Amino acid sequence: MNTQQTNQSNLPSDNKATLELRNISRTFGDEWEREEIIKDLSLTVNPSQLTVIVGPSGCGKSTLVNLIAGFDRPDAGEILLNSKKITDPGNDRMVVFQETALIPWQTTLENVVFGPNLRGDRTAEEVEAEANRLLDKVGLAEFKEKYPIQLSGGMQRRAELARAMINNPLVMIMDEPFRGLDAMSRELMQEFFVRLFEENQKTNLFVTSEIEEAIYLADRLIILSNRPTSVRSIIDIELPRPRDFHMLSSPEAYEYKREAMEILHEEAMKSFHREDNSSAAAE
């Protein structure tokens, strides 16, 4: 049994955020040439779990992130956080994107405190104390006066995490945050991130294209279909916590990977067939 799940009743109430997507759909394009990206997608992101989403390339994962973040709205259906409908961006959801969004002319510390200081709901002293605590937690205390260009890719990602965490969101949304890192940096960031999650057990939604990364991180693995996207399958990853990379060589992890890869291969082939049919029709 997953140790994290057995201890949920003892978690602080602010860790128990539930995200619900109810029959959402989203299309793009002009009225006479609209393309369905997401169709009738329903999903519950359970409280205090790390839910990971994978899907075929181009299936609409980033579109889904933008809808949950409130940067975009579905054409149909609704998205709720703790039973409250999401209509706009909010501090209760924080997104870490694929590309770094650190402000280049600000130091690491200035980047982390920027949002809370702009809102003004805490004193500058309180914000800086919390920023220093988080920078120490993510291993950047010695680099707080450095500018983003002076940080490695992995360090920039850790700074992004601290900048998101200082807002104490109900839900952390990670949109392929380790994409583009070299293999060693990516592995270190995965290990680092999973330790942070196991410590605070916030509700997390993590989007990735890497199956092994998904299995290593996830409590639940959500596999999306080819476009128009819906939930194709949900796999509960019952590897014990705390996690370590040795678990990926276990028979259980191998079976999870095999099952996920079979489903993703089927969905990817649908995409190829659709493209072939489109090309034939154009001819």
- pLDDT, mean of residues 132-149: 94
Q: Span 51-74, mean pLDDT?
A: 94
- The mean pLDDT value of the chain amounts to 89
| pLDDT at 281 (0 to 100) | 46
Count of residues for the chain?
283
What does each C-alpha distance from 229 to 98, 120, 181, 210, 223 come to in angstroms?
21, 40, 27, 18, 10
- What residues are paired with 231 via a beta bridge? 224
> What values do phi and psi take at 101, rounded to 5?
-120, 20
Architecture of domain 1-7+50-92+208-283: 3-Layer(aba) Sandwich (3.40)
Tell me the average pLDDT across 137-165. Answer: 93
Q: Does residue 200 surpass a pLDDT of 60? A: yes
d(CA 272, CA 279): 11
pLDDT category of residue 58 using cuts at 50, 70 and 90: confident
| Residue of higher predicted confidence among 200 and 39 | 39
Alpha carbon distance, N-terminus to C-terminus of the chain: 55
Task: Please determine, for residue 218, whether its predicted confidence score (pLDDT) is greater than 70.
Answer: yes
Q: Is the pLDDT of residue 265 over 50?
A: yes
**Is the bond preceding residue 89 a cis peptide, omega within 30 degrees?**
no
Report, as an integer, the average pLDDT of 140-147: 96
Q: What pLDDT score was predicted for residue 224?
A: 96
Which single residue is written with the structure tokens 């839910």? Answer: 51
Distance in angstroms (rounded) separating the CA atoms of residues 192 and 238: 20
User: Per-residue confidence at 278, pLDDT binned at 50, 70, 90?
Assistant: low
Instruction: Copy the structure tokens of residue 261.
Output: 């890869």
Return the minimum-mean-pLDDT range out of 13-22, 33-42, 233-242.
13-22
CB atoms within 10 A of CB 183: 7
Q: Is the pLDDT of residue 271 over 80?
A: no
Mean pLDDT of 174-195: 90
pLDDT at 29: 83
The per-residue b/e assignment along 132-155, b for 16 or more CB within 10 angstroms, e otherwise, is: bebbebbebeebbeebbeebeebb
Q: 231: which 2 tokens?
A: 């939930």
List residues bridging with 223 in a β-sheet.
Answer: 54, 233
Whether the predicted pLDDT of 2 surpasses 70: no
**How does residue 93 score in pLDDT terms, banded at 50, 70 and 90?**
very high
pLDDT confidence of residue 15:
60
Q: How confident is the model at residue 12 (pLDDT cuts 50, 70, 90)?
A: very low
- Which amino acid belongs to residue 195? R
Proportion of the chain above pLDDT 90, given as a percent: 71
Query: Domain map of the chain by residue range?
Result: 1-7+50-92+208-283
